[in-house]
Structure 1
Amino acid sequence: MAMIRRLFAALGAEHTGALRRLLGLLAVAALLQGAAFVLLVPILREVLGDEPERAWPWVIALAALWIGYAAVNYPGTLAGHRTGTTLSRDLHHRIGDKVARLPLAWFTAERVGGLGHLAARRVVDIMSVPAHLLRPLVDTVVIPLVVVLAMLLFDWRLAVAMAVAAVAVAVTYRVASRGMQAADRHADAVHADAAGRIVEFARAQPVLRAFGRTVEGRTALDGALAAEHTAGRRMLRAGIPGIVGLGFVAQASVIALLALGTYLALDGSLGTAELIALLVLAVRFVEPVMFLAEIGGAIRVADNALTEINALLATPTLPEPETARQADGAGIEFDEVRFGYDGTAVLEGLSMRIPQGRMTALVGPSGAGKTTVIKLIARFFDPDAGAVRVGGVDVREMRTEDLTSLISVVFQDVYLFDGTVLDNVRIGRPDATDEEVYAAARTARVQDIAERLPGGWEAPVGEGGSRLSGGERQRISIARALLKNTPIVLFDEATAALDAENEHAVQQAMAALARDRTVLVIAHRLHTLRQADHIVVLDQGRVVEEGVHDDLLTRDGRYAHYWRERNRAHGWRLTTPAP
Structure 2
Amino acid sequence: MIRTLLRVLGTEHAGPVRRTLALMTATAVVEGLSYALLVPVLRALFGGTPQDARPWLAAFGAAVAVYAVLRFLGDLSGFRTGTALLRGMYHRLGDHLARLPLGWFSAGRVGEVSTLAGQGVLQAMGVIAHLLAPFVSALVTPLTIVVVMLAYDWRLGLVALAAVPLVAVVQLWAARWTAAADEERHVNDEEATGRVVEYLQAQPVLRAGGRTTERFRLLDDALREVRRTSRRATLAALPGAVSLTLVVQAMFTGVLVLGAHLALGARIGTAELLALLVLAARSADPLLSLTEIAGRLRGARLELARLDELLATEPLPEPGEPVLPARHDLEFDSVSFRHGDRTVIDRLSLAVPQGRRLAVVGPSGAGKSTLLQLLARFHDVDAGAVRLGGVDVRAISTEALLARTAIVFQDVFLFDGTIEENIRLGRPDADEAEVRAAASAARLDEVIARLPGGWAAHVGEGGARLSGGERQRVSIARALLKDAPVVLLDEVTSALDPGNEAAVHEGIERLTAGRTVIMVAHRMRTVQRAHRVAFLDHGRIVEHGSHDELLRQGGRYARFWALATVPATGPATGPAPGSAPGPAPEADLR
Tell me the residue number matched to 1:421.
419
Q: Secondary structure at the match of 1:520?
A: strand
Name 1:69's counterpart in structure 2.
67
Name the amino acid aligned to 2:122: V
Partners of 2:332 and 2:350 within 8 A in 1? yes
Q: TM-score, normalised by structure 2?
A: 0.90
- Aligned mates of 1:558, 1:460 — CA distance in 2: 46
- Residue identity (%): 49
Give the Cα–Cα distance (whole angstroms) in 1 for the partners of residues 3 and 256 of structure 2: 37
The amino acid that maps onto 2:511 is: L
Residue 404 of structure 2 contacts residue 485 of structure 2 at CA under 8 Å; is this kept in 1? yes
Structure 2 residue aligned with 1:293, among 287, 291, 294? 291
Task: Quote the Cα distance in structure 2 between the aligned partners of 1:148 and 1:467.
Answer: 66
Cα distance in structure 1, aligned partners of 2:314 and 2:261: 62
Deviation at 1:138, TM superposition (A): 1.0
Change (3 A) 1:442 1:573: closer
Secondary structure in structure 1 of the residue aligned to 2:291: helix
1:386 to 372, 384, 387: 384
**Would you say the 8 A contact 1:208–1:217 is kept in 2?**
no
- SS class of match (2:161): helix
Aligned to 1:16: 14
1:54 deviates by 6.0
Report Cα offsets for 1:360-412 as digits up to 9, x if no partner.
22122221111001111111122223222223332233332222111110011
Conservation of the 8 A alpha-carbon contact between 1:25 and 1:72:
yes
Structure-1 residue corresponding to 2:580 = none
Greater mean deviation of Cα atoms: 319-328 or 13-22:
319-328
Aligned equivalents of 1:322, 1:365: Cα separation in 2: 39
The aligned counterpart of 2:501 is 503
Deviation by residue 1:64-112 (Cα, 9 ceiling, x = unmatched): 4334333322221111111222233333333333333334454444433
Segments of 5+ residues of structure 2 without an aligned counterpart are 568-582
Amino acid at match of 2:239: P
Alignment-derived partner of residue 142 in structure 1: 140
Give the distance between the partners of 1:22 and 1:415, measured in 2 at CA: 43
Per-residue deviation at 1:437? 0.9
Which one of the candidate residues 102, 110, 113 is aligned to 1:112? 110
Q: Give 1:210's match in structure 2, choosing from 189, 198, 208.
A: 208
Q: CA deviation at 1:59?
A: 4.8
TM, length-normalised to structure 1: 0.91
Summarize the alignment of residues 220-231 of structure 1 with structure 2, pairs less than 5 Å apart: 220-231=218-229
User: 2 CA distance for matches of 1:201 and 1:508?
Assistant: 38
In structure 2, the CA distance between the partners of 1:304 and 1:34, relative to structure 1 (3 Å rule), is same
Give the AA of the match of 2:348.
Answer: L
Q: Distance in 1 between matches of 2:403 and 2:472?
A: 21
Runs of 5+ consecutive residues of structure 1 not aligned to the other structure: 575-579
CA deviation vs aligned residue, 1:476-511 (integer Å, no higher than 9, x gap): 111000111111110113324433332222111111
**In the TM superposition, what is the alpha-carbon distance from 1:349 to its structure 2 partner?**
1.3
The 5-angstrom pairing of residues 181-330 of structure 1 reads 181-214=179-212, 218-330=216-328
The whole-number CA distance in structure 1 between the counterparts of 2:215 and 2:266 is 78
Cross-structure match for 1:577: none
Would you say the 8 A contact 1:201–1:217 is kept in 2? no
Cα deviation digits, residues 262-317 of structure 1 (max 9, x gap): 22333344333332332222222222111223444433333333233333222333
Partner of 2:407: 409
1:388 match: secondary structure: strand
Code of the residue aligned with 2:238 in structure 1: it is I
Q: Which amino acid aligns with 2:326?
A: D
> 1:427 aligns to what SS in structure 2?
helix
Contact 2:135-2:293 within 8 A present in 1 as well: no
Report the counterpart of residue 96 of structure 1 in structure 2. Answer: 94
Q: Are the aligned partners of 2:334 and 2:349 in contact in 1 as well (CA < 8 Å)? A: yes
What does residue 524 of structure 2 align with?
526
Q: How many pairs are equivalent?
A: 572
SS in 2 for 1:379: coil
SS in 1 for 2:289: helix
Q: Distance in 1 between matches of 2:261 and 2:385?
A: 81
Look up the match of 2:177. 179
Deviation at 1:47, TM superposition (A): 5.1
* Paired AA for residue 115 in structure 2: H
Q: Are 2:547 and 1:546 aligned? A: no
